[in-house]
Amino acid sequence: AQKLARIRENSNFFRSELQKMGFEVLGDNDSPVMPIMLYNPAKIPAFSRECLKQN
């Protein structure tokens, strides 16, 4: 139960921060799965690299 609560907290924080940065985040707020809309395909590789770099 504690692990699920932590996942929910982390997911909500991540979603909130992405939205503050201007990303359109889809999906249910209770789900740790977050489709992120990047409308410019050229941004996808850089976004992916930055996510991996930030762990």
1-46 per-position pLDDT tens digit? 899 999 999 999 999 999 999 989 998 888 899 898 888 999 899 9
Which residues, in sequence order, are bridge partners of residue 24? 37
- Alpha-carbon distance 26 to 12, whole Å? 13
- Alpha-carbon distance 11 to 8, whole Å? 5
- Alpha-carbon distance 27 to 21, whole Å? 17
Name the domain count of the chain. 1
User: Tokens in use for 1?
Assistant: 């139960």
Per the structure, the complete domain to which residue 40 belongs is given by: 2-54
**Predicted local distance difference test score (pLDDT) of residue 29:** 85
User: Tokens in use for 54?
Assistant: 């930030």
- Alpha-carbon distance 29 to 52, whole Å? 23
Residue 52 banded pLDDT, cuts 50, 70, 90:
very high
